[in-house]
Amino acid sequence: MSNATHPAAHAPGRDTLRGSAELIEAEEATLAHNYHPLPVVVARAEGVWVEDVEGRRYLDMLAGYSALNFGHRHPVLIETAHRQLDRLTLTSRAFRNDRLAGFAEDLARLTGLEATLPMNTGAEAVESGIKLARKWAYDVKGVPRDQATIVVAADNFHGRTTTIVGFSSDPLAREGFGPFTPGFRVVPYNDLPALEAAVDETTAAVLIEPIQGEAGVIIPDDGYLTGVRDVTRRWGALFVADEIQSGLGRTGTTLAVEHESVRPDVVLLGKALGGGIVPVSAVLAGREVMNVLHPGEHGSTFGGNPLAAAVGSAVVGLLADGHYQRRAAELGEVLDAGLAALVGQGVLRYRCRGLWAGVDLDPALGTGREVSERLLGEGVLVKDTHGSTIRLAPPLTITREELEWALAALAKVIG
């Protein structure tokens, strides 16, 4: 249908004239229904605050699932992006660009892993990590061709591609999307004996989240990550840590594995790496692992583009002096104390590390969705995960006063 004949024809500036209700209706009519967003239509944002099309303000306590660790439109990141937009945005990897080497050097300093494979989305980083681990298993470990296995944890979330949902344990993510890629073994999370039993000479890698985000911010027992490191080392398998949501300052350290001083062989980054501006992800590995990839064996048109690399470097720059990690740790204590005070007052239990919490609410108060809608009415944006669990993950730029205000709003809607 041409615009001329369509009654809702899009004209420049038109969206500023349509109200929330009209825009929601238009979205439902035109978009795939693979999401069920809260009924708020955001038009602008700065720092931890967003504003909807009617001018109502909300405190963003989700931060784009940690893609906005530095808040909306952090001035350093926006300035970097503007400068890069004025100079060079895309070359493809057919040619080199003057931003990529610096980005990889920055990531190597940040993670201690010297080689970078740049991609765009988190799921792509996970897919790339899987391919890297399999290639390494055949070329270096000597696993017979097509026999490599990868051990993953139940209740994982690693993205939405067909290979990745194939080893999800969430029926909603899987059902209707088979047949799936073979070669994965699923074991319970935080269960070292089960992991031990699943790892053998065919194991290319153990792929886990150091803290399971989508599952409800599930923090494994102390010693679990160290145990994963021991088992993988003993069997000559790679430890692949998916830090796409847990990494880049969220938990009070640059990477969540630092809480146990564990060094994985492969680290996957995404979300906050793009500064809330562009999708940027990366696979980090030691040189001898990364060297199993040769020209033509893997790639991405947009991976490592100069705009992404410039923004990614600026993100690493923000983490360089430890300021945001310290903020996450210090304000994490405020969050923890605030949630502790609500246990028995509508909160059944919660898990918190840094500025990241999964809060299990008394189901009698309604679903996580219903509580999220009530918080929306109080000017606080959160997201439910499963059932009666909500997740809190504000930008690391939030102030103590703002955090306490959000906690008071939570207390009010569940009280």
Ligand X SMILES: *Cc1c(COP(=O)(O)O)cnc(C)c1O
**Which one is catalytic: 70, 103, 157, 239?**
157
Residues near ligand X (CB under 6 A) are 65, 121-123, 126, 157-159, 209, 213, 242, 244-245, 270-271
- Which is closer to ligand X, CB of 264 or CB of 338? 264
Determine the residue with CB nearest ligand X: 122
**Which one is catalytic: 103, 265, 271, 302?**
271
Min dist CB 194 to ligand X, Å, is: 20
Task: Clarify whether 103 is annotated catalytic.
Answer: no
Q: What are phi and psi of 78, to 5 degrees?
A: -65, -40
The structure tokens listed for 391 are: 């997740």
Distance CA 87, CA 73 (A): 20
Sign of torsion over alpha carbons 378, 379, 380, 381 = positive
- Which is closer to ligand X, CB of 60 or CB of 242? 242
Rg (CA), the chain: 22
Min dist CB 239 to ligand X, Å, is: 15
**Which one is catalytic: 242, 265, 360, 384?**
242
With contact defined as beta carbons under 8 Å apart, do 352 and 213 qualify? no
With contact defined as beta carbons under 8 Å apart, do 237 and 205 qualify? yes
Min dist CB 126 to ligand X, Å, is: 5
- Which is closer to ligand X, CB of 216 or CB of 338? 216
Task: Clarify whether 242 is annotated catalytic.
Answer: yes
Min dist CB 205 to ligand X, Å, is: 15
Strand-strand pairing, 57-60 and 203-208: unpaired
With contact defined as beta carbons under 8 Å apart, do 81 and 277 qualify? yes
- Which is closer to ligand X, CB of 274 or CB of 338? 274
Paired strand residues for 114: none
With contact defined as beta carbons under 8 Å apart, do 209 and 156 qualify? yes
- Catalytically active residues are 157, 242, 271
